[in-house]
Amino acid sequence: MPSQPVRRIATTALCATILLGTTAPAFATDSDPGRVSSTEALRAPVPGADALLGQVSALGGMSSVVTPVTDLLTAVLKADDGKLSADAAQKHADAIKAAIDAAKAAAPATPSVPATPTTPKTATPDDSKAAPTDVKGDALTALQTAVDALLKASTAGDVAGVATAATGVVTGLVNLLAATLLGGGLPAPTLPGLPKLPTLPSTGLPLPSSAAVPQTPALPQTPALPS
């Protein structure tokens, strides 16, 4: 009979050892506030992840538009006389419109420009040459117009019109790529031998300062008459 208390003591000691062994790392971590667990280290965000994700999104948006447009160009240029059936043309039209609409919706909103106070009309540069505020949006709209022209010429069997419209679509794609690369906050290219790309101005031409406006000359004083 004395063996039963011994077994109970041994069992209790074993359970306590297992319990302490399981909870010891938690006590050690809690006792040291400056210590970071391996799980927390794995969950740490990548430095600059938000900015990089924005750049990745811009590049992905380019692909989502370029792919359906190039699919249309390939189909038209490989077709006899550049003619597509109405069903094929509609499928391409739907895919391209959906991609362009999605790209417009994903583009960041253009910040509003505060109203300029009314000033006297002075000799200023031509305001019509000011840079547009939404270059990428304009490029997407122009690309959609060029695609519509190509689809119209292709379904009509207008070979000459297809050649002209296809060139316009390719130009529209180049404009979209340039607008995305120059105005989308992407890093500058580092390829050796590549010429430096210009940057798009973010605002219009500045108004002239008050120093540039000529001042009215002072009138000469009338000499006093002798008494």
Q: What is the pLDDT of residues 141-167, one digit of tens each?
A: 999 999 999 999 999 999 999 999 999
Query: Band of the pLDDT at 139, cuts 50, 70, 90?
Result: very high
Query: Band of the pLDDT at 200, cuts 50, 70, 90?
Result: low
Position 112 in a domain: no
Position 206 in a domain: no
- Cα end-to-end span (Å), the chain: 147
Q: Are 65 and 143 in contact (CB under 8 A)?
A: yes
How far is the C-alpha of 18 from the C-alpha of 22, rounded, in Å? 6
Q: What is the pLDDT of residues 53-87, one digit of tens each?
A: 887 887 777 889 999 999 999 999 999 999 999 99
Poorest-pLDDT segment among 27-36, 88-97, 130-139: 27-36
Q: What is the pLDDT of residues 204-225, one digit of tens each?
A: 444 444 444 455 556 666 666 6
Q: How many domains does the chain have?
A: 1
* Helix H or strand E encompassing 155: helix 135-156
CATH number at residue 173: 1.20.120
How large is the angle between the packed helices 49-78 and 135-156, nearest 10 degrees? 20
Position 224 in a domain: no
Cα dihedral 35, 41, 43, 46, rounded to 10, equals 120
How far is the C-alpha of 82 from the C-alpha of 162, rounded, in Å? 7
**Where does residue 91 rank: exposed (0-12), middle (13-18), buried (19+ CB within 10 A)?**
middle
Position 84 in a domain: yes
- The larger pLDDT score, comparing residue 145 to residue 46, is at 145
- The larger pLDDT score, comparing residue 174 to residue 14, is at 174
Position 176 in a domain: yes
81: domain range? 52-107+132-186
How far is the C-alpha of 98 from the C-alpha of 46, rounded, in Å? 33
Q: Are 213 and 122 in contact (CB under 8 A)?
A: yes
Position 119 in a domain: no
